[in-house]
Amino acid sequence: MLVLGIETSCDETGVALFDSEAGLLSHALFSQIDMHADYGGVVPELASRDHVRKLLPLCDQVLSDAGKERAHIEGIAYTAGPGLVGALMVGGSVAHALGYALGVPVLGVHHMEGHLLAPMLEDAPPAFPFVALLVSGGHTQLVRVNGIGEYEMLGESVDDAAGEAFDKTAKMLGLDYPGGPRVAALAEKGTPDRYRFPRPMTDRPGLDFSFSGLKTFTLNTVNAAKDAGEFDDQVRADIALAFESAVVDTLTIKCRRALEQAECKRLVIAGGVSANKRLRAGLEKMAAKLNAEVFYARPEFCTDNGAMIAYAGAQRLVAGQRDGDRIVAVPRWPM
């Protein structure tokens, strides 16, 4: 089945063509980052309008890149949530209109299921079952994945997501949106062990996370440095490194626990923060000690993209799942 995948949940317009036999044929992405950067974060109305402008041209582009035409499409998958409701409506409307015109089935999929399954697009995909760490701007979750649609929640953040903590730390350090990659780049110049930040909730059992205390600790450290007149480039880099190390250690400790608890030897990391190099290195090191393997998507499929939605949708469409006639747009939607 040739499936067109559409992602418009936030600030990236992502489109892809996935063939259930031949694999990923083409994908295209337009990021609105430059447009939102002036505002320090995503402006929902601007995001929706830009999806309207970019979506159909990107659909035509992936078709032409794959040497296909609209008439070849056999199913359409779109992100139905969670996300910005206006942005989701754009993807859902185009998906349903195209599906109606072409007479093909349409299905809304969960954005986080897309992230979770993105590593399946790589050459050596993980076998089921595996433990997945989902770390994005809105989610920090540990899930045991027994198969497509068979997800067992092991733990999640009780407050901020890891990506959100990265973005807020970036603001405190005077870095632009989106903060994660910029904090990581600044941390490269940091002096190890100049500051020691807490590893929240690692001193007690369980697989839940909390990042809001770490955020406050960062803010207090920034303010103390400012008050002392020491908030220079080196101190900013040192704080970035201390923050990043605390997040990486915390996620690594919980992943080790999750692998042990789930008696699993495969760990998948997905979502925007999984692009973080220090996190990858930390998890690889921990997994090697457990004789476990780590899987992740290529960097461009760690953040939001259409390929992961086309993949997740194709698995479900092939299994016979479809939307009714209604467009589904669910801003808050637990997986």
The contact set with Zn ion (CB under 5 A) reads 136, 304
Which one of ligand KG4, Zn ion, none is in contact with 276 (Cβ closer than 5 to 8 A by kind)?
Answer: ligand KG4
The length of the chain, given as a count of residues: 335
The CA distance from 240 to 181, in Å, is 11
CB within 8 Å of 236: residues ≥ 6 apart: 173, 174, 186
- In the list Zn ion, ligand KG4, none, the entry touching 316 (Cβ below 5 to 8 angstroms by class) is none
Minimum Å distance from CB 330 to ligand KG4? 14
Contacting ligand KG4 within 282-321 (CB under 6 A): 303-304
d(CA 263, CA 261): 5
118 forms part of the interface with ligand KG4 (CB under 6 A): no
Q: Is 166 in the site for ligand KG4 (CB under 6 A)?
A: yes
- The correct pick among 73, 184, 251, 307 for binding ligand KG4 (CB under 6 A) is 184
Kindly report each contact of residues 18-22 with a partner whose C-beta sits within 8 Å and lies 24 or more positions away, as own/partner: 18/307, 18/310, 18/311, 18/313, 18/314, 19/314, 20/314, 20/318
- Is 206 annotated among the ligand-binding residues? no
Q: Which does 75 bind (CB under 5 to 8 A by kind): Zn ion, ligand KG4, none?
A: none
- Which 127-156 residues touch ligand KG4, going by CB under 6 A? 136-138
Environment class of 24 (CB within 10 Å of its CB; exposed 0-12, middle 13-18, buried 19+): middle
Question: In whole angstroms, what is the distance from residue 106 CA to residue 313 CA?
Answer: 9
- Exactly one of 108, 180, 282, 306 binds ligand KG4 (CB under 6 A); that residue is 180
| Interface with ligand KG4, residue 250, by CB under 6 A | no
Residues near ligand KG4 (CB under 6 A): 10, 115, 136-138, 163, 166-167, 178-181, 184, 271-273, 275-276, 303-304
Q: Which residues are annotated as a binding site for substrate?
A: 134-138, 167, 180, 276
Q: Which residues are annotated as a binding site for Fe cation?
A: 111, 115, 304
